[in-house]
């Protein structure tokens, strides 16, 4: 037997000792159970290529003996209660590793600043681990990753130029949210032509909004930063496939461009936008969330807004809007659950 899949069951207790005797196992999938204990027993599986044990109840430190799994290509241990420090000693022999998922544990990754991993990762998922305060230097030699999630990792540093200058044509997901990263952002449209999901929210980025490829990007979260200036970048990029745009809690000014696109979610709340709400909002027939509160929008509600019959959440409060509340809000929006004017 070379593959064993017991995922998504109700297994509990510690890892069975007999697993350590199955040295021929190449793939072991135990994710989404209620297993307890540590990872020590699986380090005897010398042929292991893929270890899936995320979303269990494992705890304790990760033994350095994990580095003896020379054939390991994928390590999925996210969603447990693992703790302690992981260093070069854990990874120095894992030259075939392509997927590293340590998300939602209490792990600290501490490496020497000049450490150069022997592996090239495709998927780096480290959300809620402790990587900071400095920006991780070991990423400097990682050129293949398609997904990078370093959200909520305690980084309070400017993103170094070398990170933006690396070739990232294959990058599809970038999540650096919930840190204290700072600095200005580059032109995403030319460097990251395949980037589908961008989440840089809850940081301290500043300057103008970055350009991005609307032909590739479907979700863009830039809220809770210090971006300033107009939001006219959308007009330069075309309508594309963007479905979620969240620019709330920044320092953005000016009017909403009359070419925002066909969105499911538009959140521009808590900025300094002014002028009228554009009638083009009414062309967003799939729009479910529209949040424009705490700006300086003026005038009456555009009649075209009645076309947004899929709206569930509508918040236009704390602006300078005038006129009567139109009756069509209740008539044309049967799914509306939250209304704040």
Domains of the chain plus CATH, in order, are 1-157 (3.80.10.10)
Which two tokens mark 112? 């020497």
End-to-end CA distance of the chain: 63
Is a pLDDT exceeding 80 seen at residue 201?
yes
Higher pLDDT residue, 144 or 108? 108
Q: In terms of Cα–Cα distance, which of 244, 241, 239 is closest to 313?
A: 244
Confidence of residue 259 (pLDDT cuts 50, 70, 90): low
Q: In terms of Cα–Cα distance, which of 38, 73, 43 is closest to 57?
A: 38
Q: In terms of Cα–Cα distance, which of 326, 329, 268 is closest to 278?
A: 268
Q: Around Cβ 34, how many Cβ atoms within 10 Å?
A: 12
Q: How far is CA 302 from the centre of its chain?
A: 34
- Taking the C-alpha atoms of residue 169 and residue 282, their distance in angstroms, rounded to an integer, is 35
| pLDDT of amino acid 268 | 97
| pLDDT of amino acid 190 | 77
Q: How far is CA 211 from the centre of its chain?
A: 18
pTM: 0.94
Residue 263 near residue 241, CB atoms below 8 Å: no
> What is the pLDDT of the chain when averaged over all its residues?
92
| pLDDT of amino acid 167 | 63
Is a pLDDT exceeding 80 seen at residue 215?
no
- Taking the C-alpha atoms of residue 213 and residue 259, their distance in angstroms, rounded to an integer, is 15
- Taking the C-alpha atoms of residue 304 and residue 282, their distance in angstroms, rounded to an integer, is 4
Is a pLDDT exceeding 60 seen at residue 239?
no
Is a pLDDT exceeding 60 seen at residue 187?
yes
Kindly state the average pLDDT of the residues 52-58. Answer: 97
Residue 33 near residue 10, CB atoms below 8 Å: yes
| pLDDT of amino acid 188 | 84
C-alpha separations of 270 from 194, 249, 312 in Å: 30, 5, 20
Q: Around Cβ 233, how many Cβ atoms within 10 Å?
A: 17
E strand or H helix at 76: strand 74-76
Q: Is 20 helix (H, G, I), strand (E, B) or coil?
A: helix
| pLDDT of amino acid 109 | 98
Is a pLDDT exceeding 90 seen at residue 132?
yes
Is a pLDDT exceeding 80 seen at residue 233?
no
Kindly state the average pLDDT of the residues 95-109. Answer: 98
| pLDDT of amino acid 138 | 96
pLDDT digits (tens, 9 = 90+) for 279-308: 999 999 999 999 999 999 999 999 999 999
Q: Around Cβ 320, how many Cβ atoms within 10 Å?
A: 10
Kindly state the average pLDDT of the residues 229-255. Answer: 81
- Taking the C-alpha atoms of residue 328 and residue 105, their distance in angstroms, rounded to an integer, is 49
Confidence of residue 262 (pLDDT cuts 50, 70, 90): confident
């Amino acid at each position: 037997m070379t593959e064993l899949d017991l995922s998504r069951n109700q297994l509990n207790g510690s890892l069975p000792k007999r697993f350590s005797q199955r040295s021929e196992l190449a793939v072991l999938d135990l994710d989404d159970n209620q297993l307890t204990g540590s990872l020590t027993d699986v380090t005897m599986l010398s042929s292991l290529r893929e270890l899936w044990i995320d979303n269990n109840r494992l705890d304790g430190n990760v033994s350095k003996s994990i580095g003896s799994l020379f054939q390991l290509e994928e390590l999925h241990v996210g969603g447990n209660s693992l703790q302690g420090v992981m260093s070069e000693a854990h990874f120095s022999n894992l030259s075939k590793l392509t997927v590293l998922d340590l998300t939602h544990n209490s792990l600290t990754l501490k490496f020497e600043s000049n450490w150069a991993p022997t592996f090239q990762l495709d998927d780096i998922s480290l959300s809620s681990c402790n990587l900071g305060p400095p920006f991780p230097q070991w990423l400097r030699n990682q050129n293949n990753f398609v997904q990078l999630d370093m959200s909520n990792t305690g980084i309070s540093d400017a993103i170094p130029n070398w990170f933006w200058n690396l070739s990232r044509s294959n990058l599809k997901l970038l999540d650096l949210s919930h840190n204290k990263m700072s600095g200005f952002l580059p032109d995403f449209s030319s460097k990251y032509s395949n980037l589908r999901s961008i989440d840089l929210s809850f940081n301290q980025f500043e300057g103008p909004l970055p350009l991005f490829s609307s032909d590739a990007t479907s979700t863009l979260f830039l809220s809770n930063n210090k971006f300033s200036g107009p939001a006219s970048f959308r007009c330069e990029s075309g309508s594309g496939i963007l479905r979620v745009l969240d620019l709330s809690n920044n320092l953005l000014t000016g009017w909403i461009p009359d070419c925002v696109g066909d969105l499911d979610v538009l959140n521009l709340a808590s900025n300094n936008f002014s002028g009228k709400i554009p009638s083009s909002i009414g062309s967003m027939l799939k729009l479910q969330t529209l949040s424009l509160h705490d700006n300086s929008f003026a005038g009456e509600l555009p009649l075209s807004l009645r076309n947004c019959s899929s709206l569930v959440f509508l918040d236009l409060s704390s602006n300078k809007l005038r006129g009567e509340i139109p009756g069509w809000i209740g008539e044309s929006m049967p799914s509306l659950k939250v209304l704040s004017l």
